[in-house]
A and B are shown apart, each in its own frame.
Chain A
Amino acid sequence: DSGVTQTPKHLITATGQRVTLRCSPRSGDLSVYWYQQSLDQGLQFLIQYYNGEERAKGNILERFSAQQFPDLHSELNLSSLELGDSALYFCASSVVPGGTGELFFGEGSRLTVL
């Protein structure tokens, strides 16, 4: 158990819909990262937050957005869903926003878009 909690574990929805994925980081970790893992593209960095502020942005589509709340939990919002958005979405947390620190990953949210 990494201490990072993600909900829901599984989600099935239709194209055009909107979903919200939730992440609670490890106790004490201020930095939250979102990654997308698909079969053909591996683990892709989407976005990072540190203590409520956006810290770094990766390959995140404009249809996707995220935020980190004062209690440090984070939500990833995916809208106008397309078939290609089907993937595993991982949240990870770390104590500090950079350096060589370990990332602790949640178990992921598997999104299926039909």
Chain B
Amino acid sequence: TQLLEQSPQFLSIQEGENLTVYCNSSSVFSSLQWYRQEPGEGPVLLVTVVTGGEVKKLKRLTFQFGDARKDSSLHITAAQPGDTGLYLCAGAKEETSGSRLTFGEGTQLTVNP
């Protein structure tokens, strides 16, 4: 059972379009991270959200953490081919041994010129 569900799994759009990727769970997370992974490379952190309802912007990317800290969304405005990649959300849960990150299965985004 996947703790974090990402949707859609695949998204192919034209340059200039807007898109939203969702990350949902029935669990509460202490924080949530978004990573982007390009072919042949490891995931690279884009943002960490910590507070319920928090919104963070990174140029054309807007990240939101749900009020209940169970879900998050990533919105990209005017997508560009350079945005192509696998977007992964990862939730952190505090445990007695320290927090662990659980990753969603990812959204594969392709932005066509």
Contact = CB atoms under 8 A, between A and B. Distances in A.
A107 B31 CA distance: 25
B105 A42 contact: yes
B45 interface: yes
Interface stretch (A12-20, A62-70, A74-82, A90-98): A90-98
B13 to A, nearest CB: 22
Nearest to A43: B103
Contacts of B103: 35, 42-45
Given A42-B103, A45-B100, A56-B98, A100 B45 contact: no
Interface residues of B, number: 26
B25 interface: no
Interface stretch (B15-23, B70-78, B87-95): B87-95
B102 A45 contact: yes
A98 B48 contact: no
Contacts of B100: 45, 48, 56, 58, 98
A107 B41 contact: yes
A44 B105 CA distance: 9
Contact of B44 (A2, A41, A44, A99): A2
Given A48-B100, A100-B31, A100-B33, 13 more contacts: A43-B106, A44-B103, A45-B103, A56-B97, A97-B98, A98-B94, A98-B98, A99-B92, A99-B98, A102-B45, A103-B45, A106-B42, A107-B41
